[in-house]
Chain A
Amino acid sequence: MDAHALNGRYAAGWRRNPHSLRSRIRILIVIVLAVALMVLAGAILRFVYVTEQAAWRGRQSEAAANAATTVAAFMSRVEDSLGVAALMVTHAPRNASGVLQSLLARNPALVEIVHLSRDGTIFTSAAVGNDVLTNLFTIPQSQWFIRASQGDHYRSGVEVSPTDDLYMVVAAPDGMSGVVAARVDMRVLLQVVNNIRFGASGRAYVIDSDGRVVAHTAPNMVAKQVSLSGSPEFAAIRSAPDHVWYGTYANLDGATVVGASAAIRGTSWIVVTELPSNEAFRTTYTALLALSGGLLVFGVLLSLALTKALDLQILQPLEDLRIGAQRVGAGDLSYRVRVQRRDEIGLLAATLNDMVTQLKDRDLQLARRADQLAAEVTERTRVQEALHRANEELEARVAERTAELSRLNAQLQMEMAERQQAMQAIEVSLREKEVLLKEIHHRVKNNLQVLSSLLSLQAGSETDGAVLLALEDSQNRVRSMAMIHEKIYRSESLAAIDFGEYVRDLAGHLFDAYDAVARSIFLRMNVDRVSLSIETAVPCGLLLNELLSNCFKHAFPHGQGGQISIDLHRSTVDDNAVLTVTDNGAGLPDDFDISSCSTLGLRLVRILVDQIDGRLELLKRTTGTSFRIQFPVPVGPDAQANVSPAIAEQPADTARALSPEAASPWIGAGRSTAPLWRTEERPET
């Protein structure tokens, strides 16, 4: 519930609000009063009850004792009559009947008296009304006769006749050897008991030692042989000394009573007196009613008075304060609470009024501060708007630049795509050209082979030795060129060939051509793996051809054997390669000058060395000749020299085996039956 709603409800009626302080204090007052008054009432009632109980206990015990005395007196009167009867009939047997009659007349409780012999024969008898004892034929077997014969004073239980008459048989020895017995009308005892009165409705009755009712104000209680046996109060009575007991219980009629008991002297009987508990507690009940009523009225009045005082002293001023606070809360700062007191509430009111005054001042200060704040807020708003605008411009520029970059990027991607297409086209074109180049090299090789075959044919038909030699030289030169082209189109790269491998093939071919094995000329090769471009490889090939041909033709004259060494090394310090061809043959004349020699072979060697920017040296030796050519090798992907393991000196036929048969089909063909026009299968591109 919010404060406003609470206020509204208070304004609607604070006196009726069950949650109000007023209600709670009122309930507290009522509870405290109720408890205090109840405790007080309880104490008073307890006092009244105890006092009354003590009084009744005394009175009732006295009544029980009196009743017991009365009943005992009755019984002793009966016993006395019996004794008198015995005395008189034994001393005056002749007038026994008259004596007994007069006894019956004097004691109304006795209705029959008999005097019997020791064997049960009746001497004399007298009765009022019917004879009962006289007409029994079981006297000798009866308890009363047997017990009296033995000298006891016998008293039977209360007997009920078919007509609900109540009687008792008493018997006693007659002092001689007979028995005197009498029938006692219990109505007389009932009358005796009925006359016992105490309080307004207190009654007494007699029970025997078994709890059976012997005499009662209600005769049918006796006739019905009602018994207390089995009830807790009877157990208590029986176990109490002298059967003197006092207690509250439900009696035979079912009513709650306060009872007291006492033994009847001379008998085994007990007298019980009973007083209805509402009578026994009458004073207590009256006190309870009076106290309840009085305290109720007193409590109500006190509670009302306390509530009124509470209203006037506390709650009404509090309500005024609340109204004041509500008015102030609603904004009325001119309102002042009108409580003129010096106590806590007065102080509270004064404080509230002070607070309102201060609030008013504070209100003014707040108004001023609010104006300042409003101005500040306006300024800040303006600055904020300017910042906002600048920000928007910046964002527009960024967007523009971003768009431009996107466009450039798209353009770039388009160009890249175009370039890629161009690259692919170049790639295709390159591949086509490679194929074409391989084809060209193949054709050139074939053509050179045809040319070689033609020179071979021509040599076959020539008889002049010099011409024959020239043709063979030319044929070897053409072969050496054709081998270059073959190596090129068989190689992976069309730009360069493995020159080492070429040297082995060429040397093999020349050893065949000059029948070196038969002449006991051996070849020793120590060749690195050196890649050479076609521009360098062709002159180098021709150059080697010339040097080796020169060796075979001139170094070993007159069937002389020997060794030719070929060394090809790549320099480890620069991009040069060194080719050395050495023989241990006849050697050159000492005055031989390589630069002035005019033979075709050496002229060709010089020209070819120049062509490859190389340098030719003739190394001086004691035996044989050694030519050393140093030439530059451009650095390429394959240019790095891989030095093959050195090949030991070997005979020329072994060296020939180094050339694979498939790699040089023309070697055999050139000397046998291979057709001139035969061309190699074109290698797969």
Chain B
Amino acid sequence: MLWHVRAACLHLCCLVTMFACAPSTPTGPVTASEITLYDWAGDIPEEVVRAFTEEFGVHIHCVTYESQEEAIESMRAGVAYDVVVMESRFIPLLVAEGLLAPIKGENVPNFKNISPGFRDLAYDPGNRYSVPYTWGVTGLIVRTDLTLPPVQHWADLWDKRHAGRIGIWMGQRREVIAIALKSLGYSGNSENPAELSAALDRLLALKPSMVVLEDIDPEDASAALASEQVTVAMGYASDFSAAKEKGLSVEFVYPEEGALLWGDVFVIPARNHDKLTAEAFVNYLLRPEVAAQIVNLRRWATANEAARAHISSEVLSDPTVYPPIDWMRSAELILPLSAAGQRLYDRVWRDFVAGD
């Protein structure tokens, strides 16, 4: 995620023509004059926040975090927030710890705009605690001018010809393990010990060929590719766009074993200032035109199906933002793990980092 935060900065200047949209009548009452939004830096655009303040008279106090772990620790510490943007895989953990308030569907009628594909998923049955927001894919970005053998699979990373040129974000541990699982034809969310053991072997095999991107500290994957220190890197669609803007010959590869999906959701913490106003704000963000405005500005795909009509055709036709459905059939959303699964993953990761 750190990744796409960095990429967001590049997109700030990419202002896309805004669709004229008739202001909807306010739904649901607001009972506070100020609420707090806790989000990645540079996520929800200022225009969106300002428009809400103008329409509802509610000031949005924006607080940012650097990582999901930081956000979770802050909520655990008892700091009150009204709306938090959270990665979907953490929802069961937060619910189990009692950190989230149930969202009343009656107060968020715009939930109907959410795509059926993001409703009632494993991380939050019945969407009692979360409202889907954005989603994206972790794939591979390849320097086509420098890479001799074509890259179409996750398994291609183990091709010795790419040794020492493969950029891996060690901060994305679930994704890294999922890449190994996927390369073996398993589910990226597998909790099978044998499959995970095999994945560990794969990872240990990959380790000598890896360039740990955190070690060379690029702004994002595009910077690493531009420096020619890596020719293949884990990346998001936003990284791909950035690389193209740098004039690099790059390609975004959806590995045939299946790309890795991530999803961000809105949640309302149990410790909040005003739940009703928080729900009104989430409902506002689910308006098709508002959701589309965010997509057009930030180039994150939205879970909001009704927003499609308002998203610019340029963004819609960008396969890195909205890949064709056939590419996505094998994609897999990174899901929360069971407690036993979490322990397995922790062991795999420890052995991977320690091993050689």
Contacts and interface: CB of A to CB of B under 8 A. Distances in A.
B210 interface: no
A160 B121 CA distance: 16
A136 B126 contact: no
A138 B118 CA distance: 7
A142 B106 contact: no
A212 B329 CA distance: 33
A226 B116 CA distance: 20
Contact of B331 (A137, A144, A164): A137
Which of A133, A138, A142, A161 lies at the interface centre, i.e. has the most chain B CB atoms within 10 A of its CB? A138
Nearest to B112: A160
B104 A142 contact: no
A141 B332 contact: yes
A142 B122 contact: yes
A93 interface: no
Interface string B243-278: 000000000000000000100000000000000000
A224 B122 contact: no
B325 A141 contact: no
Given A137-B325, A137-B328, A137-B331, A160 B122 contact: no
A161 B112 contact: yes
B105 A162 contact: no
A144 B119 CA distance: 10
A141 B121 contact: yes
B56 interface: no
Nearest to A227: B106
Interface string B107-130: 001011100111111110110000
Contacts of B106: 224-227
Contact of B112 (A137, A140, A162, A227): A162
Interface residues of A, number: 27
A146 interface: yes
Contact of A164 (B112, B123, B328): B112
A588 B325 CA distance: 207
Contact of A132 (B111, B112, B116, B122): B116
A212 B105 CA distance: 9
Contacts of B109: 160, 223-225
A136 B122 contact: no
B333 interface: yes
A169 B126 CA distance: 12
A143 interface: yes
Most chain B CB inside 10 Å of its own CB: which residue of A141, A160, A164: A141
B153 to A, nearest CB: 18
Contacts of B168: none
Contacts of B117: 135-138, 142
A657 B187 CA distance: 176
A539 to B, nearest CB: 150
A167 B112 CA distance: 11
Contact of B121 (A121, A135, A138, A161): A138
Contacts of A424: none
Given A137-B329, A141-B333, A225 B111 contact: yes
B237 to A, nearest CB: 15
A160 B329 contact: no
A141 B335 contact: yes
A157 interface: yes
B112 A143 contact: no
Interface in B288-337: 288, 305-306, 325, 328-329, 331-333, 335
A161 B104 CA distance: 18
Contacts of B332: 140-141
B113 A157 contact: no
Given A137-B328, A225-B105, A156 B120 contact: yes
Contacts of A439: none
Contacts of A133: 116
A161 B306 CA distance: 9
Contacts of A143: 120-122, 125-126
Interface in A170-226: 212, 223-226
Contacts of B116: 132-133, 136, 159, 161
A162 B123 CA distance: 23
Contacts of A142: 117, 120-122
Interface in B73-131: 104-106, 109, 111-113, 116-123, 125-126
Nearest to B326: A137
A402 to B, nearest CB: 111
A166 B305 CA distance: 16
B265 to A, nearest CB: 13
A276 to B, nearest CB: 24
A313 to B, nearest CB: 71
Contacts of B121: 138, 141-143
A142 B116 CA distance: 10
A161 B305 CA distance: 9
A320 B257 CA distance: 121
Contact of B306 (A138, A162, A212): A162
A160 B104 contact: no
Contacts of A136: 116-117
Contacts of A161: 112, 116
Contacts of A138: 117-118, 121, 261, 333
B335 A159 contact: no
Nearest to A134: B325
Contacts of B328: 137
A83 B116 CA distance: 24
Contacts of A160: 109, 111-112
A141 B125 CA distance: 11
Nearest to B323: A137
B128 to A, nearest CB: 9
Interface centre among B117, B123, B328 (most CB of A within 10 A): B117
Contacts of A224: 106, 109
Contacts of A164: 112
9 contacts: A133-B116, A137-B331, A140-B187, A140-B332, A142-B120, A157-B126, A159-B112, A161-B116, A164-B112
5 closest cross-chain pairs (CB), A and B: A225-B105, A137-B328, A160-B112, A162-B306, A136-B117
Interface of B: 104-106, 109, 111-113, 116-123, 125-126, 187, 261, 288, 305-306, 325, 328-329, 331-333, 335
Given A132-B116, A138-B261, 17 more contacts: A133-B116, A136-B116, A137-B117, A137-B328, A140-B187, A142-B120, A142-B122, A159-B112, A159-B119, A160-B109, A161-B112, A161-B116, A162-B288, A162-B305, A224-B109, A225-B106, A226-B106
